[in-house]
Every structure is written in C-alpha cells, then in structure tokens.
Chains A and B, each alone.
Chain A
Amino acid sequence: MSKPLIELKNVSFQYENTHALNNISFKVDEGDFLAIIGPNGSGKSTLLKLILGLEKPTAGEIKLFGLASNQFRDRELIGYVSQKSNAFNSAFPATVEEVVKSGLVKKLGFFKQIPKDASKKAEEVLKAVGLENLAKRNIGQLSGGQQQRVFIARALIAEPKVLILDEPTVGIDHENVQSFYDMLARLNREQNQTIILVTHDVDTVSNRISHVACLNQTIHFHGYKEEFDTISQDQIDALYGHAVRKVH
C-alpha cells in the first residue's frame, strides 16, 4: 500500500477566536477524485489554504507525500487552480500558450529559462483540457470557461501529482459546467490524475467523483461516493443544519 498523497490528522484552524476548522482528518490516495462540498463559510477555502501551505494549522498534523507540511518543499507537486478566474489581468498581452508555459515557474526555479520543449508540453496539456486550437489566441479573447481550462493546463504542465481546484466553475455558464467536469473526470480516469475539487455543484459533479467529504467547520462525512449515495437527504440536511441538495 503506497503512502497517501495528502493526509490530515486532527487538524484545527482558528481565526480571530472562532474555530474556522475543527478536528479535520482525512486522506487522499493516488488516483482519487475527491469532492469537498459544504455551504458558504464552512471553511472550504481555509482547508485548501492549509493544504497549500499558505496557512498553518493551529493544531493537528498535515502530511504531504509522507512529509510533515513544514518540511515539504516540492510545492510544484500540488497544482492549484483558484476560484476567482477574474483575479488575473485580462488585458495582459499574452497568448494562451505563454500563460500555460508560465506554470513551469516553480518547477524550474530562478535563473532557468523556460525550455524549448515546453511548447510541445503546452500543446499536450491544452489538448487534455480541450483547447488545442486556441494556443496562439490572446488570453483576454477567451470565454470565462475557456480561461479556467487554460489555468488548469497551466497547473498540469508542471505535472502535479495532485490537482486542487477551488470552486472552478464560479462564473461559468451552465452548459459549459457539464463539459468542464467531464474534462476533469477524463483527466482522472485516463491519466490517473488525483483531483481535489471544492464545489457547490454537488448534483453536477456527483457521478464523476470517487470520494466525497462534507465539510462544515468539521468533516461530517468522508468516504466513497457509493457510501455517500446511501445517505438519505434528511441525514444530509441534519449534518448541515439546512438543506443541501443531493442528486445522483
């Protein structure tokens, strides 16, 4: 049995005297497609920040690739796509390909220039996200959904072992959300890409994932998607204190 890629043991995080997260434990193995679902303010983004090392837990232990989080140096093994697809400079004069290649920045380190074969790699990851024809387009000319795919390609070019996405479909219209999740499922299935997805779209995503974690300050449920399916709607409502739609 290989080591879990990400493991949280009794992790808590306190922010200004309120428990943002309480006693969280779960692990992610290679090839998992985990959806973290939970209402607004449930601490989903905080949990991701802890995993990414942008915040430190106030209690508990986070292990990344078997190493304690503070000893873990190979941050490029974790790819991250943020929620705000409009946080970037949309008038920036760069092509899709240039943006994708910039995903190599951490892997290469200072001094090293982006290698010549990066274009070929960019082509491959753009194909994986279904944008192979847009490589030479200006990033600002793409739709919100396409831009978000470009950012996934930017994360994929560094060959991360784990891909973390924080509500990637915010601001993307409904039809495109479906094909967006199909694309993620394909990555997971065909390339054994481990994915952690924080989302609101429980109903859309549920037939594409392998694991579910329900978060509201603490983990209320964590397990296989099949187990999640056996929980009744009433139980879920009780866990959250209010209705969360569960469709499968």
Chain B
Amino acid sequence: MSEDFNNNKTIQAQSSETLTGGGGGGLTPDMDYVRPAEVTDQDLYHGHSFITKWVFCQDAKVIGVQYFLLATFTGVVGLILSWLMRLQLGFPGAAGFMTAEHYYQFVTMHGMIMVVYFLTALFLGGFGNYLIPLMVGARDMVFPYLNMVSFWSFFVAVAVLMASFFVPGGPTGAGWTLYPPQTILEGTPGSEYGILLMCLSLILFVAGFTMGGLNYLITVLQARTRGMTLMRMPLTVWGIFTATVLAMLAFPALLVGALMMSLDKVLGTSFFMPTILKAGEVLEYGGGSPILFQHLFWFFGHPEVYIVALPAFGIISDLISVHARKNIFGYRMMVWAIVGIGALSFFVWAHHMYVSGMNPWFGFFFATTTLIIAVPTAMKVYNWILTLWKGNIRMNTVMLWCLGFIVTFVNGGITGIFLGNVSVDVPLSDTYFVVAHFHMVMGIAPLMVIMGAIYHWFPLVAGRFLDEKLGKWHFWTTFLGAYSIYFPMHYLGFIGVPRRYFEMYDSPYMTSAVGMNEFISLAAFLVGAAQFILIYNIIKTLKTGKPAGKNPWKANSLEWLTPTVPPEHGNWGDRLPVVHRWPYDFSVPGAKEDYITQTTPPSEVVNTGVEKT
C-alpha cells in the first residue's frame, strides 16, 4: 500500500462534505451534491511476485479472468462430449469404442459440466467478479482473500470432476439429474467411484461458490460508490446480484442432496433408497424415498435455470441499450421483473416432476405458478424490443448476438409454456421436445449473451477490439447452426422419440427420425467447430488487434470510466468516481453527445431534457 493512497483517502473524506464548483455561473452550488461516503476507502493487498499477482491473486478482475478461462476449459470438454453423443445419435456405430456405458457417461458429464461448471461459473464467477466492483464503483470485492479461495475451490472441484474420467468404472452415467436409486446401483456406469467424485466435486463447488457469492452480495450492498443508489445500478449488476441471492438459497439443497446420496452409497443409509430387489436378491436398504431426492434436486435445479438466466437478462439489457444508443425501456419494470422472477423461481420446481409419481394434485399448483412466471419474463422481452424501437441501432457483432438472443430466447420461452402447462407436459416430458426446449432457452440463449458480452467487454479487458469480420462469421455460423439443431429437434419430441436413448432401433414412428438425426449431428459438428473462430480471433487480437482506447462504445456505466484501460488493481487510481445518474442516459434531447456518463454532474448538462433518476 503506497502512502499516496492513504493520503487520498483522507482528502476524499474531507471533500465529501459538500461538493462545490463544477457548476457554471448562476447555478446553485449544491446542484451536484452527492451524499458523503459512509465508509472509508478499502485497503487492498497488492501482490508483487508472479504467484501473488497472477496465481493466488486477490484482484477480482484477475479472478474473473481465471474463472472465465477455467469455465471455458470445462465448456470445451462439454462441447467435445456433445460431439461424441451426436456422432452416436446421427451415425450409430461410427465410433467403434462407443458403448451404451460411454454414451450415458458422456450425456451425464456434458449436462453437469455445461450447467454448473460452465454457465454458472462463467456468469457469476467470470462476469460477476470482473464487472461488479467496476460497475458499482468499488476498488475490489469486499473480501478479496475469500474471493481468491473461492476460485481455487472451484479449481479443485473441476480437478475432482475431471479425475472421475480416470477412476475404475469411469465417471457417473446417471444422467445429470443423478436420480437415485439407479445412480448408486450396479447397472449404471460409474456407480462405484464416479458418483462419489461427482458428489464431492459438487460439494466443493458449492462451498467455493458460497465464498464468491457472499462477496458479490456484500460488495453490491456495501461497497457502492457515492451516488450509486440501487436504482442507478446497471441491469447487469441487478441480474448477477439477484442470481447470487438465488444461488445462496438454492445450492444448499444440492449440497445436502449430494451429501445424503454419498451417505447412502458409503455408509448404507437409506435416505433415498427403498426396499430394492436386484438380480434376485433383496438389498440392505429400506424405507427411503427416491422422490425426496428429486424435490431436493429441483429445488436447486429450477432456481439454477434463473441463476444462469438472470445475469444473461441483465447483460443483454445493457448491451442492447448501449448499441441501440437508447435508454433501456422501462428500467424500473426491468428491475422488478428480475427480482420477481427470482422470487417466483422458488415456487415452481416441481414442474420438472409432473410425471415423477409425486402426488398428482401438486400439478395444479405448480402449473399455475409456472405460467405466472411467463408474465414478468414476457415483459422483459417486450422491453428489449421496445428499446430497439426508435433507437439508433449499430449493426455490429455485439448487436447481432443480442438479436440472436432475442430470437432463441423467445423461441425457448414459448416452448417452456408447453412444458409448464401440466397436461401438455404429459406427452412431451422425457422426449426430445424437452431436450430442444432447454438447450434453446438455457443453452443457446445464454451462450448468445456470453458471446455478445465477450465482443462488448473485450476492449475493456484487453484494450483491443476483436476482429469484426471474424466475429460476424462466428455469429452467423453459431446462430444459424444452433437454430437448425434445436428448432427441428422439437418435432422429434412430438413423434415421441425419448431422450437418453443410446440407440433408437427401428420403432415404426422413429424411422423418420434417422434423417433428421444425421442433419442435426452435422450441424452440431459445425457449430462446435465455429467456436474455434473465437479462440483464433482472441489470439489474433491480442497480438495485432485495433487499440480500443477509452470508452470505445461511448457507454455510460462506470466500468468504462477508469483512469487507465485496461483498469489497474484498485480500479480508480486516486479517487473513487462519484455517480450522478443512471447508466442509460443515451440520446438525451439537448445534449451535445448521444451519451451522458454516470459521472457527469448535472451542472454540465443543464439544458437537457434528462429525467431525474
């Protein structure tokens, strides 16, 4: 910690009593008044060696990048697994080594990796760490050391997960939902060691995630800079914040589920195990309930969908607003929709269990709550497209990903109404309709957001623009390819083709599926390969990309307003920024430029029609 830094803290505390100056002649001096800071500036640990700077680092931005890279690595593993699955489904027998055991192991690991270790880690660990402190005007997360431990717990969790590929019996092949009793019984691959490593890895992930999550929450609640009221926060922060609240409440259910299942396996308890007859012998279990696990799993599992979706909602709102040069339409509605969806998401979990054998009367309740969620979600969609209305839309790569998101998200949202509506779910559940639905809505749509976010914030992180031409190739291959995978796939579900089938055989109504399966597989190979365009683009840009300079998109939010680009440790140099407005003052009538940054005091834009926020 340098001495200058300490001095500045005192200066700031003094000067925050009243802010004078900055105003033009004839203006009242307190026009730009912002309440003084209530807490002193944060002391930061500054690493000096390579290890403390880049490995066991306490800078949220570096931790964000670390999360991002490790999540991307697991994502690539998940992608390769999906290729192997599609190879088997489109061209059965083409890969000689592919047995049913392998297939189910790949299905399971693909699902768990993509949902938990890729999407959750990337949105909250990656974007959350990088953006929260910058966007709320903090120097760092409030507990930097805990933040570092959070990442390394995630690292160990991933290592344990990957280790399960190399233990006898291989990883678990129980399906990502891990439904007992089959999960821990012979007849399911990896029921000896694979499942234990999976449970252990999830427990580590939840523990590590709790450390990170507490950081995000307390940073948002306590470390916002002066003037950054909650209703002036960018929707990105609102999305990540609410998702973290959900995660804090939902992950414990997964944790106890994983623990109880491990006990059933190792100690022979019977939490989830009723009396079971296997190969002519009655096992030493009795009295447990398999459906109890499903309740625990989905009490986590459904909020998990929104843990991924809410950050995506937040980020996409900001990207659309910046690149349409227009304020996000209905900001307050957007905030309440995020909070409302988050709260409702805890009352809908059993819509995954309509045909699970739970008391069928639950169906009425959960169908109703599920369809209620459609209302705030639809409002968000309307507000995105109304933001485009009368905008001044830059048709760059970032905007393309946004538009791709709207199409895929609305498509996946509508098919969700089919599945949420209990009796419509009966014929469709456990078919490819479900697979198509959730890939469209929580696979492809969030991926569109991630990609848009990468093209948007890369100039901040690396100081250079990603190549637009490569970006457009990347977008169109991914969007058109992914759409042609999942749109037709719904219709396989209508025929009745069940999911999690290693082979279809020649059931009369399934023969027509063969051609489509081949087509879908080819499209999947292409979409997967297209992601390497991005990796090439990043490597190329880091070497020869066009320098971006400060605030290249002419955005308003604080992350673009740091004294140096890319931002340094501590983010703000000598003085924390002071916020005077919401981040969506684009194209304000009477303003010289088409944007007014959050730090611009009112006295500098007196003759504009800006709203009070």
Decide whether A and B assemble into one complex: no
A→B interface (CB under 8 Å): none
B→A interface (CB under 8 Å): none
